Amino acid sequence: MIHFMAAFTVGLVGSLHCVGMCGPIAATLNLSGEKNRNPVPGILLYNLGRIITYSLLGLFFGLLGAGFSLSGMQQFFSISIGILLLTVALFSLNIENILLRWKWTNRFFFFVKTRLSIFLQKKSLESLFFIGVMNGLLPCGLVYVALAGAVTSGTIIGGISWMFAFGLGTVPLMIIAGLSGSLVSLKMRNFFKKAYPVVLMLVAGLLIFRGLEIQIPNDWYLAQLLTGQPLCH
């Protein structure tokens, strides 16, 4: 439950980035099809498509993490990813630009953008769902931060649940962007620039703590602390 809430918080806090990068897409969702059509179903389908993509990515990276766990490298990998995220935060490295320099990732993102442009030209509810699916594959540093948490979960279920929770966290602001048809103001963009490194460092700290086997209290232990009851079964 703690890791689920951590992933949700990463999505919620970082959703300013989602609105800033994907807001132009979300803002057009209520303009698709007939002018008098209720925009809510389309917006929900769009966000459902994104969450499904994130969850499938969580499955893959959770499986990858399970392999590291079985090989006994989980701790080392978790610490390494944590240090990498700290480096990105401290030196303000742009993950998206780094990936776009690689030929195979550049080709993949070109394919995604091509398919996305095709669906954007269609005027149907089904197309809005697939717009969300494709949008979840666009280059996004925040998604890669979330995937770092998924891969260090060490299990397939852990990877899926982490990315599912992350996706849910991004939904509220994306719904607002879709309903309002407006984009993020300059003031909010500046706020995100300051908040993003903090999000990176928090996730990095979580991964490093996990790698060092610093035990985070479980739900039962936290409940005892909050209620003041004796710590005994």
Per-residue pLDDT reduced to its tens digit, 87-110: 887 877 777 777 778 888 889 999
The stretches in the chain having pLDDT less than 50 are 31-33, 215-228, 230-233
Cα-based distances in Å from 226 to 3, 214, 233: 19, 21, 16
What is residue 59's predicted lDDT score, i.e. its pLDDT?
A: 95
What is residue 228's predicted lDDT score, i.e. its pLDDT?
A: 46
Residue 100 structure tokens: 């776009």
Give the CA count within 13 Å in the CB-facing half-sphere of 44.
Answer: 4
What is residue 42's predicted lDDT score, i.e. its pLDDT?
A: 84
What is residue 11's predicted lDDT score, i.e. its pLDDT?
A: 84
Residue 98 structure tokens: 């780094």
Q: CA–CA separation, 79 vs 85, rounded Å?
A: 10
What is residue 27's predicted lDDT score, i.e. its pLDDT?
A: 60
The ranges assigned to domains in the chain are 2-227
Neighbours of 90 (CB within 10 A): 12
What is residue 126's predicted lDDT score, i.e. its pLDDT?
A: 86
Q: How far apart are the first and last CA of the chain?
A: 20
Selection from 118, 112, 117 nearest residue 134 by Cα: 112
Selection from 13, 55, 46, 42 nearest residue 167 by Cα: 55
What is residue 112's predicted lDDT score, i.e. its pLDDT?
A: 93
